[in-house]
Amino acid sequence: MVEFGHEFRRKHFPLIEKDVVPINHGSFGVTPSSVIEYQKQRMEEEEKYTDAFFSLNSTEKYVEQLKQLGSYMGVDYRNFALVTNATTAVNAVLRSLPWDFSKDKILFHSTTYQACANTVRFLKDYFKLQYDVVELQYPLEDDEVLELFEKKLSTGEYKMCLFDMITSMPGVKLPYQQLISLCQKYNVWSLIDGAHAAGQVDLSFLDRLKPDFMTTNLHKWLFVPKTCAMLYVNPKHHDLIQTFPVSWSYGMKLIESPSTSQEVQHNENLLINKFMFVGTATYAQVLSVSEALKFRSDVCGGEDNIRKYQYDLQKRAIEQVKKVFGPGSESLQNSTGSLNPPGLFNVSLPFAEEYMPVLRNLQDDFGYFRVFKYKCDRKMLAENKAYAPFVIHNGKIWVRFSVNLYNELDDYSAGAASVKSVMEQVLHTELENLKLKA
């Protein structure tokens, strides 16, 4: 039986510097060194005879990766495109659909990842696409989340709903399957941001529930090298969707009444042919998808084994962090325990009443929050080498921790101590500054 924890880290993640406490897998992902070695070999292959690589073999190799991913996830690979990252996938969808700017409206939630929400804001500012926001203040029961969405969706005002499977900050799971059904009930297109999904939750629902669009990073939790994400497109939209940036495949259309087997194949492979070459870029990480999947099944013992280790460690890690953070510290959870995916949990950092003015500023002034966060991040990253992101949400400071196969309980003692001491120092300085200004 494979032993996870620090021995696993030494063996499979030796590239992580020895004095780093890696408690933030969620932001960018960390790749096993065997997969990185495989990726390097693919890069070398590209250089041996570049013309032949790109002109003769790249399509077949790309399709082979899609097939392996499809069979791993239990989804038809012809509904997949491989792109650089989740932000690019969201842009591909939002910026290639034929909106009616005189009336179309998008719904997203207040905790949407800012880069994706900004893409909608860009479409509003430049083209007058309308949007509306569902306010989510955690902790929330799944039913409460659904009620808040349904209240908006049932008005019939929306063309599309953009929602997360697992939100970034705080790191919480949404009832995404029910949200897909809600969108379908009210005839609203779903665009699902599953940036944290692959490698944390099962995705076989895609072909069953058939949302309109969904993306997931493969470089975060699936151990594929950076940068690689999957975009799922419902077959009914293969014709509509365009690559981002718009490129060679623009004008490639669905044949309306295919009569030959070639025409049928053209239609079935439309999404693949649109996205397989957008502009010159290395295929090295894309061609390493299969190696990452092999690592997960052969070395890690498969998805259930991986998740079991994460959930077991998560349970103990929450208690450990609460102990370090001190009295009043809470885990962000609802009554059914549905908020935490296997690899993420959030714990509140209590602070003394005297810091309330700083907290209010952090909550009300995003510019101030950014500067404050930069000060904290720099200390955690450069001085302590133990970094966890935090957010001010619903009147509390929530710190997000990640759990992966290379972690052990003492990572969370060291990580929580780093966050607590840095934040207390910076809060103190900020309070002094406010007093001086008053």
Ligand X SMILES: Cc1ncc(COP(=O)(O)O)c(C=O)c1O
Closer residue to ligand X, CB minimum distance, 104 or 164? 164
Closer residue to ligand X, CB minimum distance, 343 or 415? 343
Give start and end residues of each alpha helix (H) in 326-408: 356-364, 366-378
Residue 340 contacts ligand X per CB under 6 A: no
Residue 402 contacts ligand X per CB under 6 A: no
| β-strand partners of 305 | none
Residue 346 contacts ligand X per CB under 6 A: no
Place of tokens 């759990």: 403
Closer residue to ligand X, CB minimum distance, 195 or 324? 195
Order of all β-strands in the sheet with 344-348: 344-348, 396-402, 390-393
Secondary structure of the chain: what % helix, strand, coil (to 5)?
A: 50, 15, 40
Which of 24, 39, 79, 168 is in the footprint of ligand X by CB under 6 A? 168
Residue 195 contacts ligand X per CB under 6 A: yes
Closer residue to ligand X, CB minimum distance, 359 or 392? 392
Closer residue to ligand X, CB minimum distance, 25 or 420? 25
The interface mask with ligand X, positions 109-128, x = CB under 6 A, is ----x-xx------------
Cα distances (Å, whole numbers) of residue 102 to 105, 118, 120, 127, 130 = 9, 20, 15, 9, 9
Closer residue to ligand X, CB minimum distance, 267 or 338? 338
Stretch that binds ligand X, among 6-14, 180-188, 189-197, 246-254 (CB under 6 A): 189-197
Least separation in angstroms between CB 169 and ligand X = 8
Residue 193 contacts ligand X per CB under 6 A: yes
Least separation in angstroms between CB 27 and ligand X = 6
Residue 317 contacts ligand X per CB under 6 A: no
Residue 218 contacts ligand X per CB under 6 A: no
* φ/ψ (deg, to 5) at 307: -70, -35
Residue 400 contacts ligand X per CB under 6 A: no
Separation of alpha carbons 331 and 353, rounded Å: 20
Nearest to 153 by CA among 175, 191, 120, 179: 179
Indicate the SS3 state at residue 166: strand
Nearest to 314 by CA among 64, 25, 67, 77: 25
Residues that bind ligand X (CB under 6 A): 27, 85-87, 113, 115-116, 164, 167-168, 193, 195-196, 217
